Amino acid sequence: MITKNFFGETSDGRRVDIYELKNSNETAVDIITYGATVNNIFTKDKNGVSGDILVGFDDVEGNEKRSSSHGVTVGRYANRIENGEFTIDDVKYEVYKNEKGITCVHGGDELSKAVWNAIIVDDNCLEMSYTSPDGSMGFPGRVEFKVTFTLYENDSLKIDYYAVSDKKTVINMTNHSYFNLSGGENVLSTELMINADAYTPTDERSIPTGEIRPVEETAFDFRAAKPIGRDIGADDEQLIMCRGYDHNFCLNEGDGPAATAYDPESGRMLEVYTDLLGLQLYTGNFLDGTVVGKGGKPMQKHAGFCLETQFYPNTPNMPEWPQCTFDAGEKFTSTTVFKFSVK
């Protein structure tokens, strides 16, 4: 069942609606048209008590003015582009540098700050669409974006991404939800597994160095589930520079989940499935309690974790990596599934 309600207005007067997708298990997902944002996910714990497992905001103002991409649909290019520039067919493009005036991150936040059009497809599927004009944020091509959210009876939320441009361009989309399965102060006790034998270390700007580094015998080895906090304070320059995890993992091939997260306190479990090659783990390293979220609760450091399915960061400038440059008329499609359960 899907219901629609008025959520509020942006500071410049744009109407924002909220759609609730709910199944017979009373699992519910709230999505707002601002940023095509997954604003709340309500699931039951091992005692049958329902709770919101996302860190975020109660109103439009919070999403618009205080958000660090909480729950948003990210694009045109998820993650970072070095120096905000890349070349396609010998043409150099300079895009918006929204991170310290040096780096383009998340496509300049265009998609996450847009108000998307929404259509209820059927009783469990919501489609959102947005058109980005040619040259927006410096990117080439007029791009038609669509994202569909489908909530199934098995408590899976499937997100399907679609984009097509009228010019050759780069496209890399993801969702940036901050999960907290217990609702506690931080997620350090959450047991996380990532099905990856390697990750991409970064420089001081959080730009990949180009190395594909094995996770074995490092703090980045999540092949067997372990608490997020076990090694987050390790004497590792990668963790020190980023104040925690903010890294792309190179996913192994296979049909199983790319990642699983389990909270022993609540019994809640999250499984992540994707058809993409990379997964960014971010552990809310720059939250410091100054940002107030849902229910007036300050967001402390490591208040949530993000599992962003993606192409590797900075691929337009890394020709040796799998590319996400699409010809005019060529379709970008991708699917991510978040499956919720208890044990």
* 324 secondary structure, DSSP code: -
CA count, 13 A, side-chain hemisphere, 253: 0
Given a contact cutoff of 8 angstroms between Cβ atoms, the answer to whether 52 and 294 are in contact is yes
Given a contact cutoff of 8 angstroms between Cβ atoms, the answer to whether 339 and 316 are in contact is no
The whole-angstrom separation of Cα 333 and Cα 276 is: 10
Structural domains of the chain, count:
1
Contacts with 10 (C-beta within 8 Å, 6 or more apart), sequence order: 16, 34, 60, 64, 115
- Which residues belong to the active site? 176, 308
Domain with 20 in it: what CATH number?
A: 2.70.98.10
Contacts with 122 (C-beta within 8 Å, 6 or more apart), sequence order: none
User: Which tokens in the block code for residue 226?
Assistant: 């372990």
The whole-angstrom separation of Cα 159 and Cα 156 is: 10
Given a contact cutoff of 8 angstroms between Cβ atoms, the answer to whether 95 and 134 are in contact is no
CA distances from 174 to 263, 291, 335 (A): 24, 23, 9
Strand partners, 193: 260
- Overall pTM surpassing 0.75 (yes/no): yes
Full pLDDT tens readout for the chain, 343 residues: 999 999 999 999 999 999 999 999 999 999 999 999 999 999 999 999 999 999 999 999 999 999 999 999 999 999 999 999 999 999 999 999 999 999 999 999 999 999 999 999 999 999 999 999 999 999 999 999 999 999 999 999 999 999 999 999 999 999 999 999 999 999 999 999 999 999 999 999 999 999 999 999 999 999 999 999 999 999 999 999 999 999 999 999 988 999 999 999 999 999 999 999 999 999 999 999 999 999 999 999 999 999 999 999 999 999 999 999 999 999 999 999 999 999 9
Question: Domain limits at 301?
Answer: 2-342
pLDDT recorded at residue 280? 98
* Phi/psi at 262 (5° precision): -135, 130
